Homo-oligomer: A and B are copies of this chain.
Amino acid sequence: MLRELTINDFTSVLGEGKATPGGGAAAALSASLAAALTSMVFNLTIDKKAAKDYPESVVTSMKEAREATDRFRNRYLKLMVDDAESFDGLMAAFSLPKETEEEKAQRKSSIDSAKERVLEIPYQLVKESFEMYDALKIATEYGNKNAISDAGVAAILIHSAIEGAALNVFINLAGSEVNEENISLKAQTDDYVEKSKSFKEDIVATVIDKIYGRQ
């Protein structure tokens, strides 16, 4: 299973000439790295000298945010596996027999539901990655200053996950029916990417200001 591959083997398998794991899985891993880095920032802050002058309310919000980022780290890895599996499912559906009318109908129905799943996973990744920003804003504002670049890298990687997963939404939509649901999915995905870009740029600008002692 993908989660149990070593870093070395994962990148090696990713490079092979098979469709999975592909960009969707890489985007999900990027999201998981972002969540982990944000947990790290909280772990270097909570119960440490960096937090000694913080009011209890700030410490509580950091602890709650850390609970979320710990959960997200694992959830995005789940989506990484789902992404690869859903695409394998689509390939399997395409190779179903299509001799008889019954087989043809069965194959079409399998392809349709596999396509739905292939489209659903990257959209989930877009949507759920976006949830990282609450924690990221807290980490950037209150996180240990020595780890401020880590909060910045986390923002960069979560935006990558969103932007990368969005490309997977688009390529799957391009092969799908143009209906109201799909038009709305496209608009919502565009909207997440745009908002994410602005949030990420704000966080990176704040990180750079903090690095140079301007904040």
Chain A residues with CB under 8 Å of chain B are: 2-8, 10-12, 14-19, 22-24, 26-27, 29-30, 32-37, 39-40, 43-44, 48, 69-70, 73, 77, 80, 146-150, 152-154, 156-157, 159-160, 163-164, 167-168, 170-171, 174, 204, 207-208, 211-213
Tell which of B40, B70, B73, B167 touches A22, judged by Cβ atoms closer than 8 Å.
B40
Inter-subunit contact A43/B16 (CB<8 Å): yes
A151 nearest CB neighbor, chain B only: B23
Known: A23-B153, A170-B208. A36 touches B15 (CB 8 A): yes
Q: Shortest CB–CB separation between residue A201 and chain B, in angstroms?
A: 11
Inter-subunit contact A37/B33 (CB<8 Å): no
Inter-subunit contact A170/B157 (CB<8 Å): no
Tell which of B23, B77, B153 touches A11, judged by Cβ atoms closer than 8 Å.
B77
Inter-subunit contact A164/B171 (CB<8 Å): no
Inter-subunit contact A36/B11 (CB<8 Å): yes
Inter-subunit contact A33/B44 (CB<8 Å): no
Known: A26-B33, A212-B174, A213-B174. A146 touches B19 (CB 8 A): yes
Known: A3-B8, A36-B14. A211 touches B149 (CB 8 A): no
How many chain copies? 2
* A contact face: mostly helix, strand, loop, or mixed: helix
What are 7 A-B residue pairs whose CB atoms fall within 8 Å in the complex? A6-B7, A11-B77, A23-B149, A27-B153, A156-B160, A157-B160, A174-B211
Q: A153-B167, A157-B164 are in contact. List 11 more A-B contacts (CB 8 A).
A: A5-B7, A6-B6, A6-B7, A7-B29, A11-B77, A23-B149, A149-B170, A159-B160, A163-B204, A170-B211, A174-B213
